Structure 1
Amino acid sequence: MSDIQTGSFIELCLAGNALLDEIDDFVDRWHSTPSETSLWDYLGMSEAEYSLWVNEPDVLPYVILSRKEGRPFTQIVNDNYYSSLRLAARPDQGQKIRVLKDWLERQGHLTR
C-alpha cells in the first residue's frame, strides 16, 4: 500500500487501489495517527458494518459488495446468511452462520 494514496480503505478497495488483506495496514495507521475520527469512519464503514467485521472478519467482502452494488449491507448479509445455511453441513461454516444470525437478529433484519 502506498502512503500517497488518500481515501478510506473502502474507497480505495472500490477503486482497485487496495486489497482486502491490507485492512490491517489501515488499522495500524489509524492507531499510529492521533485523530478524533472513529476507526469505522477511518476505514469507510458504517458502525454496523464495523461491528460485524470485528466479530466476523470474513464479512469484509460483503461490505465491499454492498457498496459496489448499492444494496443495503443488511440485505447482503441476510442473503449470505441464507446461502450459508445451505452449506451448513460444512463444519467450518457453523461459527460464521451463528455470528451472521445473531447480528441480523440484533439489527432487526432477519427475514425468512
Structure 2
Amino acid sequence: MSRQQTFVAACLAGDALIVDIDDWVDRWHDEAGAPGGQQITLADYLGLTPEEYELWVERPESLRFVLSSRRNLSGVSPHIGRDIKLLAAAARAANDEEAASVLAWLQQTGRIA
C-alpha cells in the first residue's frame, strides 16, 4: 500500500479489500493522523467524501454501497435518490437483508426519497 493512495483508491484498484478498512484506520491512528508527516483527516486518508464518511460512520455496512457507487456511478452525491432499485443493486451487501436494511436506513435518514 502506498502512503499516497487512499483506501477507496486501493479498493477500486484491487489493492485492498473492504475488510481492510480497520487496518487503514489503525495506521492513521498509529501515525497520530499525520501519515508521511502531514496532518490529514481520517476521511481524506480513507478517500471518502464528507457524505460518504458520514454514511460509513453511521452504518459501516454502507461502505459496500459507497465503493460500488464509486465504481459504477462516479460517486454517491450526484446519484443518491435517482433510482432506488439501482441503489439497492449497488449496495452489493453480503445478503438481501443487509441490503434492505441499508436502503431502509438511507430512506429513514432522508438521504434518498
Counterpart residue number, 1:17: 15
Counterpart residue number, 1:102: 108
Unaligned runs of 5+ in 1: 85-89
TM-score by length of 1: 0.69
Please list, as runs of the form range in 1=range in 2, the aligned pairs for 1:1-112 lying within 5 A after superposition: 4-6=1-3, 7-34=5-32, 35=34, 36-74=39-77, 75=79, 79=84, 83=88, 96-103=102-109, 105=110, 107=111, 110-111=112-113
RMSD: 2.8
What is the rounded CA distance, in whole Å, between the counterparts of 2:54 and 2:106 in structure 1?
Answer: 11
TM-score by length of 2: 0.68
- The answer as to whether partners of 2:6 and 2:46 remain within 8 angstroms in 1 is yes
Unaligned runs of 5+ in 2: 90-95
Q: C-alpha displacement at 1:68, in angstroms? A: 1.3
Aligned length: 99
